[in-house]
Chains A and B, each alone.
Chain A
Amino acid sequence: MTGYLTFEIRRTLRDAKFLLFAVALPVGLYLLMADRFIDQGAPASYVMGGVAAFGAMKAALDVGARTAVERGIGWQRQLRLTPLSGSGYLLAKASVAMVVALPPVAGVSLVAALVSGVHLSPGGWAVAVLGVWAGTVPFALLGLLIGQFATAQNLQAYQGAVVLLLSFVGGLFIPVSTFPQALATVAKVLPSYWLAQVGHATALGGDSWQAALVLALYALVLGAAVVVRYRRDTARA
């Protein structure tokens, strides 16, 4: 397991383009959005929380979903012929997703502090950075689940739809309080809504325990689903 994890982390760190994009996209988005939102009276830390959550979520989803390619070419079959267990493989992949999810949060937070002058207490930064990062776990697992269903060909379509749905309807960019009633109800079913709660807690105050609990439940359910799916996937890829 540790052997496989090391291997995967080394592979990921070598993929500079992917890592750079994972950070550059949310940082760019933050810079684009911050001025407009702040003009409308939103605190910079609010925008920071939402965009950081988006960046972490997308990075975690991407890493997981890219396993569709490995599955398609038969790499997972090859691994089934080793002592590496299915859950060991998935755990390694989820860990890599979490490694990749941290830089976007850190990047957005850093830019928010430097450019918009966001000031937080050490405890505030801990929630803003580590809280959002930890809340990304269910998305790493959701990405893996997508990877077990999608093919290399339809992956982009799946992935794009999921990211759009989660980020816009989940309220990562636009406050759910401005949604029509029906859409707001839908939003609350999405895990991204609860990740947004963690991200926005810095700006809005209040604690994130309820959001943490919901995200933990999501992680359990998605984790179980992806393990079951991987075990059943004995068909030839």
Chain B
Amino acid sequence: MDIHDGAPALSVAGLRKTYGETRAVDGIDLVVDRGEVVALLGPNGAGKSTTIDMVVGLARPDAGEIAVFGASAHEAVRRGMVGVMPQEGALLDDVTVRETVALIASLHRTPLPVEEALSRAGVADLADRRAALLSGGQKQRVRFAMALVPGPDLLVLDEPTAAMDVTARREFWQSMHAFAETGRTVLFSTHYLEEAEAYADRVVLMHAGRVVADGPVSAVMAEVSGRTVTATVPGARAEDLGALPGVTAAHVRDGRAELRCTDSDLVVRELLTRYPEVRDIEVGALGLEDAFLRLTGASEAVR
């Protein structure tokens, strides 16, 4: 296989992975173009990490195709085209930050200068410190330096800010942003809606191993947010309600229908026309966080 000039940074088709009984990833298609900053958003257990592990060659898919710059994941890693910050993956306690990053650099053919990787990740002042003496957030930034030092064209970050406090988080995103500014591609996973909103051009929303929404941040936000109409609609089935104009999703629970709407006025008018016996109509706005939780079905787990 060869690295194709015109190939997208990442192309994934029909990706599946099962661990025992659990379908961790259940058919994912995804194309990331060069220069995009894409957030893989979803609650814990949505399949984000499994997807990322397969994309970078740490896990073997049960089915599906993965191409990184037109080549296999292993080939792309071998050529230093992908920098990865896996979620698990620690530092050796007895080794200094500079030695660690220098080691990774020495394994690659065309690495960045070590000092440059250190300063880009904001750990230049920690260079002589051993990993045992670093805080969780500092360790994450060292691992960011390790992802940067191959001089990759695609950066893959699995929940990069998990162990960071607010300040560390902000500094981290500044570094990431500076990297993306150079026209390179970033794919990162997060379960923080604000992070996706603030730092990505595009959001891929995952739930239960599938992609449930994919698009520019504003479009996904619009889809995720919007209004809901709840009403008691005797005899109506969820499928029929879902087919009403202006409704994007419908659930019926204990006789109450919950409709997510792009146009709640239209939906109320349609309901009254088609189901004259409808009662107890409520119209509500969904907060983003609320809507996100609902869309991904995580509301019960969270509350």
A binding-site residues for B, Cβ under 8 Å? 3-4, 7, 10-11, 14-15, 70, 73-75, 77-78, 80-84, 234, 236-237
Kindly supply a per-residue 1/0 record for chain B positions 103-122, scoring 1 wherever the CB is within 8 Å of any chain A CB and 0 otherwise: 11011110000000000000
Would you list the 5 A-B pairs with minimal beta carbon distance, nearest first?
A: A3-B106, A73-B90, A74-B89, A82-B107, A78-B89
Interchain CB contact (< 8 A) of B146 among A10, A78, A234 = A78
Kindly supply a per-residue 1/0 record for chain B positions 67-106, scoring 1 wherever the CB is within 8 Å of any chain A CB and 0 otherwise: 0000000000111101010101111101100010001101
In the complex, what's the smallest C-beta–C-beta distance from B32 to chain A, in angstroms? 18
Interchain CB contact (< 8 A) of B92 among A11, A80, A82, A83 = A11
Of the stretches B51-59, B178-186, B195-203, B276-284, the one at the interface is: B51-59
Interchain CB contact (< 8 A) of A81 among B56, B79, B94 = B56
Contacting pair A84 B107 (CB below 8 A): yes
Contacting pair B86 A15 (CB below 8 A): no
Interchain CB contact (< 8 A) of A77 among B58, B106, B107, B108 = B58
Interchain CB contact (< 8 A) of A83 among B56, B60, B78 = B78
In the complex, what's the smallest C-beta–C-beta distance from B107 to chain A, in angstroms? 4
B binding-site residues for A, Cβ under 8 Å? 53, 56-60, 77-80, 82, 84, 86, 88-92, 94-95, 99, 103-104, 106-109, 143, 146, 150
Whether A83 touches B108, Cβ cut-off 8 Å, given contacts A7-B99, A77-B89, is: yes
Contacting pair B88 A83 (CB below 8 A): no
Whether A83 touches B103, Cβ cut-off 8 Å, given contacts A73-B90, A78-B146, is: no
CB-CB under 8 A from B80, the residues of chain A are 83
Given contacts A11-B95, A78-B143, 18 further A-B contacts (CB under 8 A): A7-B99, A7-B106, A11-B92, A70-B92, A75-B89, A78-B146, A80-B57, A80-B58, A81-B57, A81-B82, A81-B86, A81-B89, A82-B77, A82-B107, A83-B78, A83-B80, A234-B60, A236-B88
In the complex, what's the smallest C-beta–C-beta distance from B31 to chain A, in angstroms? 22
Whether A11 touches B94, Cβ cut-off 8 Å, given contacts A82-B108, A83-B107, A83-B108, is: yes
Contacting pair A78 B106 (CB below 8 A): no
In the complex, what's the smallest C-beta–C-beta distance from B253 to chain A, in angstroms? 36
Instruction: Select from chain B the residue with minimum beta-carbon distance to A76.
Output: B89
Interchain CB contact (< 8 A) of A78 among B57, B60, B86 = B86
Contacting pair A81 B77 (CB below 8 A): yes
CB-CB under 8 A from B79, the residues of chain A are 83
CB-CB under 8 A from A80, the residues of chain B are 57-58
Which of B88, B89, B150 is the most central at the interface, judged by chain A CB atoms within 10 Å of its CB?
A: B89
CB-CB under 8 A from B59, the residues of chain A are 234
CB-CB under 8 A from B108, the residues of chain A are 82-83
Contacting pair A4 B89 (CB below 8 A): no
* Measured CA separation A16–B88 after assembly (Å): 30
Whether A83 touches B94, Cβ cut-off 8 Å, given contacts A234-B58, A236-B88, is: no
CB-CB under 8 A from B53, the residues of chain A are 236
Instruction: Select from chain B the residue with minimum beta-carbon distance to A81.
Output: B84
Contacting pair B88 A237 (CB below 8 A): yes
- A/B interface sample: 24 pairs, CB < 8 A: A4-B103, A7-B99, A7-B103, A10-B99, A11-B94, A70-B92, A73-B90, A73-B92, A74-B88, A75-B89, A75-B90, A77-B58, A77-B88, A78-B146, A81-B57, A81-B89, A82-B150, A83-B79, A83-B80, A83-B107, A83-B109, A234-B60, A236-B53, A237-B88
